[in-house]
A and B are shown apart, each in its own frame.
Chain A
């Protein structure tokens, strides 16, 4: 049943129900009308015939002994006066059978009528179907009056009248009822479709609106028409959408405010830091000439100023990604050469510390500065938290979505990353070890790696290698989308 309902649409179900109601009411009306009309017609015919027959029968004088020929003459006379049409009249007296027609005995008169006729001096009638033809049969016993009482003479008169004409009239009525009901059903189809449409349109609107909300178009509203249940539903939907939009807007605003705040703070910190960083050289140079405690304090300030500058730069970098203001200045480079240069700049050139497998010939279009940050942060992180030797592998990668790719794998020789930590290592300021309150890095290194890789249309994954140690794999397309109108060589 449920499956059946699911297959047949709401519109079909509504139209079917409408037509069913129309058909039942049309059918019932036709049936009742037919029955009443039929009874009325037949009763009128019966009453006319029965009363007329009774009158005729009363005029028959009975003379004994019965003369067949004279009786037949009387019967023919009665038959002629029959109302509303001529009858065939039969008479039965003992074994004597006389009729106004050709056959002395009727085939439609039933034994029940004969029995009833003897018991009822006022006469009886019966409707009989004989071979599909309806007949009205009547019986009246003749009486002779002796003073106040009347006694049956033993002569019973029967009249038989075909009802075919009436039956034809009734059938014509039935045909008329049917012929009227069918167009009525067709006409009923129009309001059925209209009603289905008026119900279904709000339902369809609701579906479309719900889909749009799902796509994030939270300002979607439905026009509310009328005051029926569907209008209520539309009103509720609009109200819900409004509340949802408000909540989401408020959340977004709060997020924008939080990010703006982080960005503003970073920018505000940068200016004093620029002044401080410019004089750290002076502090470092003069520290040795100061008293030991003062020297230690001065060196601390100098070192922390440097770290603070890195942190603030990383924060500003992250807030640029958040504000979608990060630009890709792509250039075509040899990837192996680019990685080698990154390692050389950071003085990670000892093979016991950083081992490389950098096949030549992989050329990619990427932002060299950002790619440098990616490689440096991954290797720096592996050296700090994993342990030497760190292995770097560059390789071609099977294309993804028709785009040729390359992969850089950075594996360390440390204990690996705990499974519950793995999903979080690219989070900002995530500390794998709660005891370690502050690492040498800014805490944003891997988050910046992920954002930079995403900007190139690539992915970065963290896992543990088969022989222990963390493995971070960057996969990037060989060709990042080229901004329009760039005059790159």
Chain B
């Protein structure tokens, strides 16, 4: 994996609790990040336009407009990387947030070390296999590895960072089966034992965008009991 993202990404943090907000802001700023904070979803959406962050850290439990709604609204216009902040066992199911388009999640309380590692993982690009053409064609799908774009039947498809990374990873080794644990390690840089729902939610979102019939997928295929693979077409 290479690291060609801006060294110190700009982070927008939407979090209603002042102590968490200040703590995380302080921790990230100390590590050199430029951080803007907002206490509500509405204020956060406003700050998004002015601040132009590289990444959004979003608390799921917010007064008024909740984190899932914010996430959905952001995804309507932007493929900004989104990491949800959640407390395990909160009323909000993490799956709902993932379905709304979040790329990853962090369970609170977490050390700044952990938060920063997640931010870097989400922003990191997938390592390019050498000696490949810049643009690959798989059926109706055109994958531009250099330009990080995907088009279906000539139409550009907007993919969130985690969706793009998953597609690039799977299509780099067509017909090879990856277990969900392997995908968690390689695409999300999580531990082997992390939450496999992350993979399932991302696969569902990706299928909705690139498959003709999401119910019977051609590109991202399921091998029950083993994992996922790209093709065969």
Do these two chains really belong together in a complex? yes
Taking the complex as formed, is A393 at the interface, i.e. its CB lies under 8 A from any CB of chain B? no
Determine the distance from Cα of A275 to Cα of B20 in the docked complex, in whole angstroms: 4
Taking the complex as formed, is A428 at the interface, i.e. its CB lies under 8 A from any CB of chain B? no
Of A270, A345, A487, which one neighbours B109 at CB under 8 angstroms? A270
Q: A487-B222, A489-B223 are in contact. List 10 more A-B contacts (CB 8 A).
A: A271-B19, A274-B17, A274-B23, A278-B20, A279-B23, A285-B30, A338-B192, A341-B193, A345-B193, A368-B196
Report A130-162 residues with CB < 8 Å from chain B CB.
Answer: none
The distance from the CB of B21 to the nearest CB of chain A, in whole angstroms, is 8
The distance from the CB of A53 to the nearest CB of chain B, in whole angstroms, is 119
Determine the distance from Cα of A285 to Cα of B23 in the docked complex, in whole angstroms: 15
Given A278-B111, A309-B109, also A329-B225 (CB < 8 A): no
On chain B, the number of residues with a Cβ less than 8 Å from chain A's Cβ atoms is 40
Whether A278 and B23, one on each chain, are in contact in the complex, defined by CB atoms closer than 8 angstroms, is yes
Whether A331 and B196, one on each chain, are in contact in the complex, defined by CB atoms closer than 8 angstroms, is yes
Report A293-351 residues with CB < 8 Å from chain B CB.
Answer: 306, 309, 312-313, 316-317, 320, 325, 329, 331-333, 338, 341-342, 345
Q: Which residues of B contact A277 (CB under 8 A)?
A: 23, 109-111
Q: Inter-chain contact count A-B, CB under 8 Å?
A: 116
Taking the complex as formed, is A282 at the interface, i.e. its CB lies under 8 A from any CB of chain B? yes
Report the interface size class on chain A: 35 or more
Given A279-B27, A329-B196, A487-B200, also A316-B88 (CB < 8 A): yes
Whether A278 and B193, one on each chain, are in contact in the complex, defined by CB atoms closer than 8 angstroms, is no
Taking the complex as formed, is A372 at the interface, i.e. its CB lies under 8 A from any CB of chain B? yes
1/0 contact trace for A429-469 toward B, CB 8 Å? 00000000000000000000000000000000000000000
Taking the complex as formed, is B113 at the interface, i.e. its CB lies under 8 A from any CB of chain A? yes
1/0 contact trace for B99-131 toward A, CB 8 Å? 000000000111111010000000000000000
Residue ranges of A at the interface with B (Cβ–Cβ < 8 Å): 267, 270-282, 285, 306, 309, 312-313, 316-317, 320, 325, 329, 331-333, 338, 341-342, 345, 368-369, 371-372, 487-489
Taking the complex as formed, is B24 at the interface, i.e. its CB lies under 8 A from any CB of chain A? yes
Please give me the residue from chain B that is nearest to A273 by CB atom. Answer: B109
Q: List 25 A-B contacts (CB under 8 A).
A: A270-B87, A270-B109, A271-B17, A274-B17, A274-B20, A274-B87, A274-B109, A275-B17, A275-B24, A277-B109, A278-B111, A281-B30, A281-B113, A282-B27, A313-B109, A325-B89, A333-B179, A333-B181, A341-B193, A342-B193, A368-B192, A371-B193, A487-B222, A489-B200, A489-B228
Q: Which residues of B contact A325 (CB under 8 A)?
A: 89
Residue ranges of B at the interface with A (Cβ–Cβ < 8 Å): 17-24, 26-27, 30, 87-89, 108-113, 115, 179-181, 191-197, 200, 204, 222-228
Determine the distance from Cα of A272 to Cα of B191 in the docked complex, in whole angstroms: 26
Given A277-B110, A280-B111, also A368-B20 (CB < 8 A): no
Please give me the residue from chain B that is nearest to A308 by CB atom. Answer: B109
Q: Which residues of B contact A306 (CB under 8 A)?
A: 111
Q: Which residues of A contact B112 (CB under 8 A)?
A: 278-279, 281-282
Q: Which residues of B contact A341 (CB under 8 A)?
A: 181, 191-193
Interface centre among B108, B110, B194 (most CB of A within 10 A): B108
Of B20, B21, B30, which one neighbours A282 at CB under 8 angstroms? B30
The distance from the CB of B64 to the nearest CB of chain A, in whole angstroms, is 18
Please give me the residue from chain B that is nearest to A269 by CB atom. Answer: B109
